[in-house]
Structure 1
């Protein structure tokens, strides 16, 4: 199995978390989004969405992270990401898809770049846009978690929701979003990041992180 991704891409981060939790070995091949490698013919001819992650498995190039997560759970039944009970599966999907559909679309790199050029907004305006949409979805998620009375994880162990939440909170911190009034989200994030699977998947641990390349220089 091959995962094409970018160290700071939240959707790539999702897949790394999921593969680690399921104990699936894979080869990681970086795609530099900042240099536009995803738009090149070599990549876009295989993935018409021209984005990451792309998961190569069973002779097929698979795009779209949420579909990839669902496929992984169906193809590799051990260590399931989704819980056994139907209502619990709905809850996990409800919260995960709130992030994937309400947050990722307005906050991904092409949208942020479009706000700057051609629309002409400066970085402060882009940051304000980013934080607005984060609050619009993360606050209801926090309320839902409070209704559910969650602890360290949504259920008894991390799964479908957590692999989507943790990368989004990583991005929220990059944009200085105030999480002080979201104790349940912060608790889940803290519990996940204490696990070796999430530490291995973290952007700081990826070979294409420029900081890691600096450390390798003599």
Structure 2
């Protein structure tokens, strides 16, 4: 049975999972959940994911949620090609890069948080951009140093890893918030390489069935 990915075309978490699925060669179909209309709170979707968040993945008779958990599950059940290095210390470094984005940057610029900033504190778009840019810039400054130290074409070493699957969607988001990226040449070099890779290119938001025209 073909896997089904429930996501939103512009969701960073769904974007990173699409990259991982593509890198692993998993065949899947997409089911768009429009976060702007509240489709994530529909009874049908809440039956799949009681948290009401994307992505969710139906695969192998399971319903999996939370992109970090799903990506680790993919690594365990479909180990080739590997998205984590061979040694425990190197795996820890890749996981740290991924967590830097997934824990310390992305949650602070997702739709729920930005909606709260707008509704509860009256933030306009300039204030929202400033908020998001502050956390993106701080995280990217640290990540730039890590990639400069450990990267060899990709975030870590010379092959794609979980860290790259996290980075590329966050660079996409950074541009949406008008974040200046010139200070991060190593991250931009990884992005150029990634966008030439079919697994990353097919995952791009603009190529999703539910993308805006």
131-140 or 39-48, which moves further after superposition?
A: 39-48
Structure 1 position 194 matched with structure 2 position 196: yes
Query: What runs of 5+ residues in structure 2 fail to find an aligned partner?
Result: none
Query: What runs of 5+ residues in structure 1 fail to find an aligned partner?
Result: 212-218
Q: Which residue does 1:141 correspond to in 2?
A: 143
Structure 1 position 129 matched with structure 2 position 139: no
Q: Which residue does 1:104 correspond to in 2?
A: 106
d(CA) in 2 for partners of 1:208 and 1:126?
A: 25
Q: TM-score normalised to the size of structure 2?
A: 0.96
d(CA) in 1 for partners of 2:22 and 2:104?
A: 26
1:96-139 per-position Cα deviation (integer Å, ceiling 9, x unaligned): 11100001221110100000112211111111001001011110
Structure 1 position 151 matched with structure 2 position 142: no
> Hey, which bits of structure 1, 4+ residues long, moved more than 3 A?
none
Q: TM-score normalised to the size of structure 1?
A: 0.93
d(CA) in 2 for partners of 1:185 and 1:87?
A: 22
d(CA) in 2 for partners of 1:35 and 1:59?
A: 28
1:120-168 per-position Cα deviation (integer Å, ceiling 9, x unaligned): 11111111001001011110111122233x2321212112110011000
**Deviation of 1:62 (Å):** 0.8
Q: Secondary structure at the match of 1:170?
A: helix
Q: Note if contact 2:132-2:177 (Cα within 8 Å) is conserved in structure 1.
A: yes
Q: Secondary structure at the match of 2:48?
A: coil
Q: Which residue does 2:18 correspond to in 1?
A: 16
d(CA) in 1 for partners of 2:186 and 2:123?
A: 34
d(CA) in 1 for partners of 2:12 and 2:168?
A: 9
Q: Which residue does 1:38 correspond to in 2?
A: 40
d(CA) in 2 for partners of 1:80 and 1:74?
A: 9
- Measured on the aligned residues, the alpha-carbon RMSD in Å equals 1.0
Q: Secondary structure at the match of 2:51?
A: coil
Superposition pairs for residues 1-218 of structure 1, below 5 Å?
A: 1-148=3-150, 150-153=151-154, 154-211=156-213
Q: Secondary structure at the match of 2:120?
A: coil
Provide the aligned length of Structure 1 versus Structure 2. 210
Q: Secondary structure at the match of 2:31?
A: strand
**Deviation of 1:88 (Å):** 1.3
**Deviation of 1:39 (Å):** 1.0
d(CA) in 2 for partners of 1:121 and 1:114?
A: 9
Q: Note if contact 2:55-2:65 (Cα within 8 Å) is conserved in structure 1.
A: yes
